[in-house]
Structure 1
Amino acid sequence: MVGKTPKDGPHILKDFASVSRETEERLKTYVDLVLRWQPAQNLISPATIPEIWRRHVADSLQPHLVRPEAKRWVDLGSGAGFPGIVTAILLADTPGAHVYFVESNQRKAAFLRTALRETGSSGTVLPVRIESAAEQWTHGPVDAVSARALASLDALLHYCRRFMEEGAVAVFHKGRDFQREVNEASHAWGFDLVEKVSLIDPESRMLILSNLAARSVEEGSR
C-alpha cells in the first residue's frame, strides 16, 4: 500500500508548538490508533501516512493555538478526529474543557469514542448529521467551532450559525483558494475575520470568524 508507514514522528512538533511530555504521549497513542484502524476504516488518505505527524497532527494543533482560551469546542464533520481529537488532547488537563464531535458515520463515531477513551481526553461524540446538529443541540454554550476539509465557508457558516450567534468563534482550516471562499460567503453573511497564515502551508489560512450576521437579500445583491 502506498504510504503505509509514517516517515516523520512526534519530534517535528517542536517546530510548531511546545507540548508537554504527557501531551506528546497522548498524541502518540492517538496516531497509533489511527494507523491501527486505517486498513479497515480508511480514516485518512493513504498518501498522507508518511507525513501523518506534519500533515495531520501538527496541522490540527492550530485551532487551539489560535484560540488557547477556548475550553468548550464543537468539531464539525470530525471524521478521524483531526483537529477535534488533537484539541481534546491539548485540553486534557484543563478543568472544564470538553470537545463535542459531530460525526454521523457510525464507524468513525466508534473510532472517535475509542480515541477519547484511550487518550484520556474529555469529549462527547454526537452521531448526527451536521445539518441538524445545531437544531438538536442540548449541551449549552460553546466557546469555539472547528472544521477541517469539510465544506465551503458559506456552508460552514450555515452549520454553525446558532453557535456563533450565542457567542462562539469559528476556527476553520482553509486552503489556497480561501480568498474566493471568503468573498463568496460575504454575499450572504457579515462577520469579523482574522486570517492566520497556516503553520503547515504558507499559502493556506486559519480563518477566525466572529460576530456573524446574515445579510438581507438587498444587502447580498449589492
Structure 2
Amino acid sequence: MAFEQMFQKWNRSINLVAQSTSGDVWQRHILDSAQLGRIEPVATRWVDLGSGGGFPGLVMAFLLAERDGASIDLVESNRKKASFLQTVVGQFRLPARVVARRIDDSHALVSTPQVVTARALASLSTLLDLSAPWLTSGARGLFHKGRDYRAEVEESVHRWSFDLVEHPSVTDPHGVILELSNLRPV
C-alpha cells in the first residue's frame, strides 16, 4: 500500500488532518512538506515536533532515506497518531524513530538535531519555547507559517533574538517557511 493510500485509510478513523484538507493530500501536505528538502539539502539529524499525520516528518523521512546516516525523530503525544507514524515507519523501513511523548518531555530523549521542524502546530513564539533546548544549541528551525507570519515574528522578538530567513512557499502563495538560527533569549 502506498503512503498516500495508507494515510487516507488512517485519516478516516483518527483525523490525522482536517477533513477539509484531506482531499488534496499530494499538493496540500506532501509537496508542502517536501519543500524542506530543498531548503536544507545536507542535514542528517532532524526532529519534527507534533508530527501528527506525518507532515512534514514522514515526508522528510522518505527524503532522508537517500542520505547516508540520516534520521528524524517524530515527536507526537497522541497515541493513535504515534501508532500511525510507527506503522508507516515500519512498513516503509524509514530512517525515523517515533517518540510518543509530549514535546516538553522529549528533550532528553532526542539527540541534538541539526534541524527542528513543525507544521500547523503552534504560534512561532510557542514553537520557539518548545524547541529552545535544541535551537539554542545550534540547531536551525524550519517552520511552515501562513499569511499572518509577520505578526508571529513580531510577537516572538519580545522574548527571543534570532536570525531569520523567509522562504516563500512553493505550494501556498500566502505561506512561508521560516528558517531560524542563532536563537537566544532577550
The equivalent of 1:52 in structure 2 is 25
Q: Which letter does structure 2 place at the counterpart of 1:68?
A: P
Partner of 2:9: 36
Q: CA deviation at 1:87?
A: 0.1
Which protein has the larger Cα radius of gyration, Structure 1 or Structure 2?
1
Residue 63 of structure 2 aligns with which residue? Answer: 90
Contact 1:29/1:119 (<8 A) preserved: no
Specify the alignment match of 1:106 in structure 2: 79
The alignment's TM-score, normalised by the length of structure 1, stands at 0.81
Structure 1 residues 129-155: Cα deviation after superposition (integer angstroms, max 9, x where no partner): 112222xx2443211000000001011
Q: 1:135-150 maps to which residues of 2 (within 5 A)? A: 137-150=108-121
Residue 55 of structure 1: SS of its match in structure 2?
A: helix
Mapped pair 1:206 → 2:177 = yes
Pair 1:169-2:140 in alignment: yes
Overall identity of the aligned pairs, in %:
42
Shift of 1:48: 1.6
SS at match of 1:157: helix
Which ranges of structure 2 fall in alignment gaps of 5 or more residues? none
Give 5+ residue unaligned stretches, structure 1: 1-27, 216-222
Q: Secondary structure at the match of 1:150?
A: coil
Contact 1:64 1:70 in 2 (8 A): no
Residue pair 2:61, 2:96 contacting (<8 A) in 1 also: yes
Q: Is the 8 A contact 1:100 1:126 kept in 2?
A: yes
Deviations 1:33-70 (A, max 9, x none): 11111221111222222211000001011222211111
Letter in 1 for 2:164: L
Equivalent position amino acid for 2:60 in 1: T
Which amino acid letter does the alignment assign opposite residue 81 of structure 1?
Answer: G
Aligned residue number for residue 185 of structure 1: 156
One-letter amino acid of the structure 2 residue matched with residue 94 of structure 1: R
Match of 1:12 in 2: none
Partners of 1:40 and 1:203 in 2: how far apart? 30
1:127 paired with 2:100, answer yes
In structure 2, the CA distance between the partners of 1:110 and 1:212, relative to structure 1 (3 Å rule), is: same
SS at match of 1:36: helix
TM-score of the aligned structures, taking structure 2 as reference length? 0.96
